[in-house]
Amino acid sequence: MTAGRGGLYQNIIARIKNAGDKTFITGSSGDYLYSDIDPICAKIQNVMTGVGVKKGSRVLVQVEKSPEAVMLYLACLRMGAIFVPLNTGYTSGEVSYFFENSEPDLCVVSPDKQESFKDIVGEKPVLTLSSNKDGSLWQQCSDANAEIAELTSDDIAAILYTSGTTGRSKGAMLSNENLRSNAEVLSEYWQWSEDDVLLHVLPIFHVHGLFVALHCALWTTNTMIFHNGLNVENIIADLARSTVFMGVPTHYVRLLDNPTFNADVCRNMRLFLSGSAPLLTETFIQFEERSGLKILERYGMTEAGMITSNPYNGERVAGTVGFPLPGVSGRIGAEKDGKGVLEIKGANVFKGYWRMPEKTKEEFTDDGFFITGDISTMDADGRFTIVGRAKDLIITGGFNVYPKEIESLIDDIDGVKESAVIGVAHPDFGEGVTAIVILDDTKNMTEADIDNLICDSLAKFKLPKKIYIIDALPRNTMGKVQKNALRETYADIYRKLK
């Protein structure tokens, strides 16, 4: 098969054909071998075909992480159905929107969600799948004679909904080629080999865990050790038999909080990767001191998978997201003061938003670059640093303020664990710069202390008009700070000035 032609599943099958009885996933319900993949996926395909799923059908999925859930995803690829994974934390009200928008031919849910789904989907079929080889989907699996669908590289493989921090979530349509090209590039760039063992701790309803981690393992026929949820002791125990770990900053902070985490624990590890949220420079430094290894930070998003990466061989600079991956073009649009919105082009960039042609058109430039919405800088070597979201840009008194600049300054204060800076409606300035700070409990510190420590380092218009010390920042399941929630919480703090 010519590289890049046909469906992702066909490409995967071609790559794993010699893996045989090598372990694919080891999880709580037992081990699955590479030789198990196609027969199991064919059985699942037969079940889905029996309830009306066909090529191009959407399959809406809200199940717990498990090897069986991976097989369901691969079965959708096999038959050309469009996989639509949902965050397991979404409520029934939130799920209703995704159901109405995607119009699936089948919903697959955890057994405990079956009744609530029936109220949402009406006459549409609902099957269940649990993490212990149970549920109606698994129980109905028998025949394994379904044929692999003939697909083109442009056929849509999955729809992943954006986090929806402003307005309704949008369904990003990812093609077989979007996913295939990213898997191929990342496997080479991060120097995966068939001897690697991936410690998989991420959820699989998100680009990071579903596409980046899973596809890299499949592309190089690696074994994956599956963890469902964050248990630091279990992670540390399994690091000794792993070589690659993908995590979000919260994972690394939790590992550092455990006194048993050290270089000996990491003796077999060759690569720690971080993404989905910014990694603090302090965490980067402390992790290297404890483990002897530098975290490799990269940058990606729902609409494009992975976009940039610090080098595997070469300097990994804390706070930066490195260089555009091979085949990806990146540039700074509408640059001002060295900053601007990052624009990208490449085979990894999605096909558009599901049933939103006008919104899709708005997000691309006339020459075909996708406008990421992330404000970035680029140094003389071509290395990118993400400094904030365009929607998070604060305009106060007519001046632009980039939250990341202030957050970095506050985060460097001894006694501060992390911070989030937001703009809040202000009667005089339009928006008032507002800092939300988390302390690390090593020092007694007040809001006034923080203000005094940063006041000489920033222009007056950048200084927070109010600083709040709280216990924790609101985050989504991938560890990203939910600034929209903070803006709602502090929406009225300047109202009394009117």
Residue in this structure with the two tokens 């030789």, named with its chain if needed: 35
Spell out the residues 6+ positions from residue 67 whose beta carbon is closer than 8 angstroms to its own. Answer: 24, 25, 27, 29, 32, 226
Structure confidence at residue 163 (pLDDT): 60
What is the pTM for the complete model shown? 0.85
Residue count (the chain): 498
Give the span between the Cα atoms of 419 and 454, in whole angstroms: 13
Q: Does domain 230-390 have CATH number 3.40.50.11540?
A: no
Return the half-sphere exposure (C-beta side, CA atoms, 13 A cut-off) of residue 433.
25
Residue in this structure with the two tokens 């044929």, named with its chain if needed: 147
Structure confidence at residue 166 (pLDDT): 44
CATH architecture of 8-188: 3-Layer(aba) Sandwich (3.40)
Q: Does domain 393-497 have CATH number 3.30.300.30?
A: yes
Structure confidence at residue 389 (pLDDT): 79
Structure confidence at residue 27 (pLDDT): 86
Q: Using an 8 Å Cβ cutoff, are 340 and 331 in contact?
A: no
Helices H, strands E: what count in the chain?
A: 15, 25
Structure confidence at residue 165 (pLDDT): 42
Domain 8-188 and domain 230-390, same fold? Reply is: yes
- The pLDDT tens digits along the chain (498 residues) read 334 468 999 999 999 999 989 999 998 878 999 999 999 999 999 999 999 999 999 999 999 999 999 999 999 999 999 999 998 888 887 899 999 999 999 999 999 999 888 889 988 999 999 988 889 999 999 888 899 999 999 999 999 998 644 457 899 999 999 999 999 999 999 999 999 999 999 999 999 999 999 999 999 999 999 999 889 999 999 999 999 999 988 899 899 999 999 999 999 999 999 998 788 888 899 999 999 999 999 999 999 999 999 999 999 999 899 999 999 999 999 877 788 999 999 999 999 999 999 999 999 999 999 999 999 999 999 999 998 878 788 888 767 787 888 998 999 999 999 999 999 988 778 789 999 999 998 999 999 999 999 998 887 888 999 999 999 999 987 788 999 899 999 999 997 654
DSSP E strands: which ranges in 23-73? 23-27, 30-33, 58-62
The pairing of strands 223-226 and 244-247 is: unpaired
Structure confidence at residue 497 (pLDDT): 58
Residue boundaries of the structural domains of the chain: 8-188, 230-390, 393-497
Give the span between the Cα atoms of 223 and 26, in whole angstroms: 8
- Kindly list the distances between the CA atom of residue 439 and the CA atoms of 1, 102, 130, 418, 457, in Å, as whole numbers in the listed order: 56, 42, 40, 7, 20
